[in-house]
Amino acid sequence: NHIDSGAKANIYADGSKTDEGTGSAYCILENYGIITSWQVWFEKFKPFFSQNKHIHLRWLKAHVGYLCNECADQLAKEAITKGDPFLLPKPLSYLKSEIKSAALSIWQDNWDNGESGRSTHDIMPRVSNKPVGWNREEIMFVTGHGHFPSYLHRFNLGTHDNCSCGGKGDPIHYATKCRFTLSWHFQTPTVSLKLQWLKNILTKNLSRTRLRLLMRFICDENNLIVEDNN
């Protein structure tokens, strides 16, 4: 505190690391006498000085013959056994990053080991705070949630899961086999390539456009494609 805020000073610092820890010290000399010194002991060295834009570090090839550096070197060695432990509070940004990382890890674990959403997990195995970019129709197709007999029957909202054409009324059926949706059909995938087939549809613009039109038709003409439940 003895230095004016606008003044400049040369501060000589040194560090000494042993198995017991790292000692760090600096000293300010005036007329060849130490007017201020500082000693701390770090359990793990943290180069916090370099984080401040107002502090500029310069390296001396050897401190022998430099009185100021000789003093700083001696103080650093003493700091290992005599210095006060130095605990540097972590910045708020670090805590936010740690909390975010922990939350994502928990979320990922729940997503990997959950019982629901397995078809979506196959396509999007990694959780993220960034939106996938799917619209309503694409979400319906991937999750199977919507105006599909298979979905309605699953939640006891229908007595069967049949399409009006006789096949199982799920998204894949309408996208590949149903005669009522022939205008928007995709080539039927093999079992081994089904996952890649789904990913290709959701990443190619023309396929996504066709898929959206298909899903809108299913929503608008639901009475045509859903077999009477009565």
Quick one: 136 and 59 in the same domain?
no
Quick one: 138 and 220 in the same domain?
yes
How far apart (Å, rounded) are the C-alpha atoms in residues 98 and 91?
11
Domain end residue (candidates: 58, 82, 106) = 82
The total number of structural domains that make up the chain: 2
| Residue 95 DSSP SS3 | helix
Q: What is the pLDDT of residues 106-145, one digit of tens each?
A: 999 999 999 999 989 999 999 999 999 999 999 999 999 9
Q: 169 with 148: CB under 8 angstroms?
A: yes
Q: Any idea what DSSP says for residue 43? A: S
CA neighbor of 221 nearest in space, from 143, 153, 151, 163 = 163
Is residue 126 a part of any domain in this protein? no
Give pLDDT, residue 200. 95
Q: 41 with 23: CB under 8 angstroms?
A: yes
How far apart (Å, rounded) are the C-alpha atoms in residues 68 and 1?
20
CA angle 170, 172, 173 (to 5 degrees): 65
Question: By residue range, what is the domain housing residue 35?
Answer: 9-82
Give the mean pLDDT of 169-179: 95
Q: What is the pTM of this model?
A: 0.60
Residue recorded with tokens 């080991």: 113
Quick one: 69 and 140 in the same domain?
no
Give pLDDT, residue 77. 67
